[in-house]
Structure 1
């Protein structure tokens, strides 16, 4: 496949994740009131999706190593489009949560497949550069998501925002069916055997390079998720923004993320993976600490959060391409399984953070506070910098695994 087509496919497959989470964020307070839901139930529409997203990758990964990336992508995208339609017609919050769980499970096939495709086609350093290009496309979709979600929910209600996901999923499936050529050169017929699967997991989970990059990915995504899960309530309920204004803030955040992915590509060539991540760790720590300190000082305003958060999200655009390529780098013959395990860890951390935030934040405007958001970002910024400056620097070189998983003879 031409490199341009690979980048387009990566952007669409990876971009399903921010579309699925960001597009309906401006509508989340209205959705909560319309369905008579509690704050916990509203957060569950997001955290349950991520939990299903994380667990499903443990199944999609080995399936893709066995049967190839193409059939798994087509099955996952078809299921995603179906679940999106179901979400639009949910009569109550319980039905919506159920359809979002199915949607999250289907999303796992698309995102896991995208990461595995990069390892199928490219070595780790070049893979990080290609991943950064795909994540630039993801950033463009994220830019569109929140403003579009805000406009749709203002004009047509929250169901319209969820309906766009069905159209996007179907369009992505059509492109995969039309242009995607199987990237896995030699599927492993033994990949689904329990003993082989357990041995493969063991090889991956014992590899220090996997843990260095997977922990960086998980902490960085947890910081992003902290913002996604709480920002609509903070900016709309606590700080009084309209849904459209909130959508524009999300647009600006995504634009800075795009700059981060472009900067990542430039720095990888000059500094390499590990030094690029070290630079990004410094940006993360500065941004997160400023947000946390201003929150403690009582400076509760939109720009007291957003200006330092731009540093955080700029660094996130550098951590993610390096981490997603580095975590699967040592495992060319089990890229699907390695991608699945790193994605599972990311989502488990995000789910735990979502559960915590749901307990800390009220549903309405009374008692609304910025502190769950600002304190959470400060915590994750310290952890991200610690991982970037220690584990990644020591174990981040993507060397081959000592024992490759069993292959077909």
Structure 2
């Protein structure tokens, strides 16, 4: 197969981490920043809670589906044009969201925003595989996700403050500012990382061959399911926590934002724990140990709720265990799913991201029904959801990952023939 070698000027590792942080950061900003605004949006449009919840679920479904397009396009054209197009559309959609005149318009703009941010996050995962072998890639991904955590730390308090003092539209407009800044920095500093473009990547027969190769690989499924299960737990918290902490437990929007900040700080600690554990115990034992925290945190949240302890710290305490483990599972899962496919990293990244977002979308549909008006569910959708996802994470980490999760380090730029 003929390939065209792009001209590349290598980026320093420091710039790689900065750019990864920006590209990965578009996702928590698009979700966490506007979470404190959800009750205000519900009141402003006099809309059913399930419809307002759809502004989050639709964003994530579009985010997942669009990656299936962006991935092969990036394997064909390169990472840089896809990133520039995606960040440009993200900025435009952020402006449209802030100006939306109805909840239906907001949903449409959030769909566009989700599709656009798919280019950024898919690109980030593919870049890591372009530049690094699997184990080093997991450590580099954890550094990028530490940067994501910093953005998430700012998102909750900033979203709460903007919503309380300037209204929900200001919170959504802040995303346009970030999108424009990220676009400018990528245009200035990013250098193409794709080792060799695949001129057949967009041909239907070639796409089917690549997708088939990926879905038949057990290592892909082990790590993709781990990443999806841990993200399912995080999404459950994101989709329910503003209603639980503001409407049920009586926190202010700013107070809720501070809780989100504390969650993000623990998540960052988890990414540091990931980098500390990997060279000492290896990838599979790292996620096995972290799965114990996931299961423990989810179970504790569920048991305390059943015992009638419906308080802030009866939820946040166990969730800190869960989110600490999330900081371990995400970099390992995201890099592990892509690792067997150095010559199709865009497609593999896209499929892994799609599975994660379908998981979140389905959970969002269920939560929208459970938290509909008149359903006096209190804290249970949140606590029972964490319990379920904690158990599923442990099941995947202790079985599939231990059996199929070993990732070899082929010579850089060479294919892993197990993927063929």
Q: TM-score, normalised by structure 2?
A: 0.95
After superposition, the Cα gap between the structure-2 partners of 1:363 and 1:246, relative to the gap in structure 1 and judged at 3 Å, is farther
Q: Are 1:189 and 2:205 an aligned pair?
A: no
Deviation at 1:153, TM superposition (A): 0.2
* Ranges in structure 2 where 5+ consecutive residues have no aligned partner: 1-10, 409-415
Q: Are 1:383 and 2:399 an aligned pair?
A: no
1:113 aligned to which of 113, 119, 123: 123
Partner of residue 334, structure 1:
344
SS at match of 1:402: helix
Deviation beyond 4 Å, 4+ runs, structure 1:
none
Q: Distance in 1 between matches of 2:419 and 2:21?
A: 32
Partner of residue 148, structure 2:
138
Deviation at 1:402, TM superposition (A): 2.7
1:358 aligned to which of 362, 368, 371: 368
Cα displacement string for residues 83-120 of structure 1 (whole angstroms, at most 9, x for unaligned residues): 00000100000000000000000010000000000000
Q: Distance in 1 between matches of 2:156 and 2:92?
A: 22
Partner of residue 392, structure 1:
401
Asked whether the 8 Å contact 1:238–1:368 carries over to 2, the reply is no
Q: Are 1:402 and 2:418 an aligned pair?
A: yes
Mapping of residues 149-298 of structure 1, within 5 Å: 149-298=159-308
Most deviating of 248-257 and 353-362: 353-362
Q: Distance in 2 between matches of 1:30 and 1:300?
A: 24
SS at match of 2:46: coil
Cα displacement string for residues 344-366 of structure 1 (whole angstroms, at most 9, x for unaligned residues): 000000000000001011458x8
Q: Distance in 1 between matches of 2:159 and 2:246?
A: 14
The two structures, once aligned, show a CA RMSD in angstroms of 1.0
Cα displacement string for residues 295-334 of structure 1 (whole angstroms, at most 9, x for unaligned residues): 1111100000000110000000000011111000000000
Q: Distance in 1 between matches of 2:373 and 2:92?
A: 30
Q: Are 1:93 and 2:98 an aligned pair?
A: no
Q: Distance in 2 between matches of 1:198 and 1:206?
A: 12
Q: Distance in 2 between matches of 1:297 and 1:205?
A: 43
The count of residues paired between Structure 1 and Structure 2 equals 403
Deviation at 1:367, TM superposition (A): 3.0
Q: TM-score, normalised by structure 1?
A: 0.97
Cα displacement string for residues 156-199 of structure 1 (whole angstroms, at most 9, x for unaligned residues): 00000000100101110111110100000211001111001001
Q: Distance in 1 between matches of 2:113 and 2:397?
A: 32
